[in-house]
Amino acid sequence: MALIQVSNLSFTYEGSSDPIFEDVSFQIDTDWKLGFIGRNGKGKSTFLKLLSGELEYSGSISTDTVFDYFPYPVQNEDLEECADSLMEKWKPGVESWKVLMELNDLHCDSEILYRPFKTLSFGERTKVMLAVLFSGGNSFLLIDEPTNHLDRNAREIIREYLSGKKGFILVSHDRDLLDAVSDHVLVLSRASIEVQAGNFSSWWENKKRADSFAISENEKHRKEINKLKASADRVGRWASKSEGTKIGFDPFKENDRNISTRSYIGAKTKKMEARVKSFEKRIDKEIEEKEGLLKDIENVSDLKLNPLTYHKARLLECRDFSLKYNDATTPVVQNLTFEIRSGERVFLQGGNGCGKSSFIKAVLLANASDRAFDDGAGDGGFVNYSVTGTLAPASGLIISYISQDTSHLRGSLKDYAEENGLDFTLLLSLLRKLDLERVQFEKNMEDYSEGQKKKVLIASSLITPAHLYIWDEPLNYIDVFSRMQIEKLIETYAPTMLIVEHDKAFADKLATKTVLL
């Protein structure tokens, strides 16, 4: 067992006036399985880089432990090499037999070590890197979002694998994974950092109770402040009135007064003014305490959606539909039959590479061309695909689409809104509700984190009225609080949706129909 002591840590990226960390201190144990939780852009990946020594900071991080980081860097020239060659670069001195043992625990055949890295799927790359990561000893492992782009089966394997390990920090937004593998959580709250025993669900329950208590106490403070303000106002008005009577009086109307009364009134006025100042100090103190109570509360704002209503119940018919790459021997989608009816939330499930994204592209293309891919339709408008069967979107169907790819997001938000016909003010308003800070509005989108880019795509879709919302892995990199916002939105407005998403908690809660490819 070793300790990592973080003391008075501060860090701000060069050229930014907004600190990521400011004078924070905490302690963690290297035997823990530590789930790392926080909003997008709050500094989770940055903190891992600080531990790794990649960035300079003020304050201190004291420990005798050695850190190793997932994912390992892969350059373009590395893609032609096999993992067996790359792993010595990733982890000098690594022993192949240990890697093979870890791959066995990950239900993975050893042959993937000897294939060109570019031929490996996302899941295979993740498993190879995790096997290398855990093959050494005496390291505290920094694991940054290992399940992005992985299908549900691969996520379950990773979850089972990590639950049997210890000595790591896991950055993840997958609640199911955090609950299964964590025995402690490190939480980047709005104004503090806290370490707590337990998993995500136990922390979240504690958080809700603490927030409820803080809101109740805040209400008491607010009432007390109002009373103090009213009392201070009464005393202040009395003091002002008394001060005005020190000089000048009518001897016929006020025959009990004389010039010696002036000093008495002045002394009383000073006492009352002192009481006013005392009230003001108490008010300032109460306000300061009140603001402190609410500084860490997670305000998960309600989102709004304006889905269009289609005049018929069926929005998409898919019957005996198959799709094949022209250079492949077998179809990627074969004999698929289902339909989407108004109000349904259809989740496409299946392993990586089973054709989910290809099927979505076929739907989009059929809708854009305003014609169905029907029997005998030939290539159906695809360049590298051929299709058979029926894929028929309803006539005049309006679709709002989120791609899993964010690489096209460049330039300013204003330019992006203009290019895509979006209401710029509405876009910014929704991004604020998704907790994108105003300072980000002035930046170009290529400088955003992946989670922030995803929020731009989600906000764009939400402000686009549509009959059908098609979302392809929308939650990759999205923080857990925003996921809960989106869940509540979908439950409230019940839009018709076709979704590819591997977050088990999200799918289990929202799916009205599941289609397995």
Residue boundaries of the structural domains of the chain: 3-199, 207-294, 314-516
Distance CA 23, CA 58 (A): 9
| Phi, psi of 351, rounded to the nearest 5 degrees | -65, 165
Model pLDDT, residue 371: 55
What amino acid occupies position 248? G
CB atoms within 10 A of CB 255: 9
Token code pair at residue 312? 């018929």
Q: Look up residue 47 and give its DSSP letter.
A: H
**DSSP tag of 186:** E
Q: Residue 25 belongs to what H/E stretch?
A: strand 21-29
Q: Which residue type occupies 442?
A: E
How many Å apart are CA 44 and CA 36, to the nearest integer? Answer: 7
State the residue for tokens 């799709």: 323
Paired tokens of 207: 């958080």
pTM for the whole thing? 0.74
Q: Which two tokens stand for residue 510?
A: 């929202």
Task: Check: CB of residue 221 under 8 Å from CB of residue 286.
Answer: yes
314-516 in CATH: which number? 3.40.50.300
CA quadruple 493, 494, 500, 503: dihedral positive or negative? positive
- According to the model, what pLDDT value does residue 42 have? 81
Three-state DSSP class for residue 7: strand
d(CA 111, CA 466): 46
CA torsion sign, 249 to 255 to 259 to 264? negative
- What CATH number was assigned to the domain covering residues 3-199? 3.40.50.300
Beta bridge partners of 469: 400, 497
Look up residue 239 and give its amino acid.
A
Helix (H, G, I), strand (E, B), or coil: what is residue 333? strand
Instruction: Give pLDDT tens digits along the chain (517 positions).
Output: 689 999 999 998 877 777 888 899 999 999 999 999 988 878 888 999 999 888 999 999 999 888 999 999 999 999 999 999 999 999 999 999 999 999 999 998 889 999 999 988 888 899 999 999 999 877 899 999 999 888 888 899 999 999 999 999 999 999 999 999 999 999 987 667 889 999 999 999 988 888 787 777 767 767 766 766 666 666 666 656 655 555 445 455 555 555 555 555 556 666 766 766 776 676 666 655 555 544 555 555 678 888 999 999 999 999 999 998 887 788 889 999 999 999 999 999 988 778 898 899 999 999 987 655 554 444 444 557 788 999 999 999 999 999 988 989 999 999 999 999 999 999 999 999 898 888 889 899 998 988 899 999 999 999 999 999 999 999 988 998 899 999 999 999 999 999 999 888 899 999 999 999 8
Asked if 395 and 370 count as a contact pair (C-beta separation under 8 A), the reply is yes
C-alpha distances in Å from residue 106, one per residue of 4, 125, 147, 448: 29, 12, 13, 33
Q: Please report the sign of the dihedral spanned by the C-alpha atoms of residue 237, residue 238, residue 242, residue 243.
A: negative
For residue 272, the model assigns a pLDDT of 65
The reply to whether 3-199 and 314-516 are identical in fold is yes
> Are 319 and 484 contacting, i.e. CB atoms less than 8 angstroms apart?
no
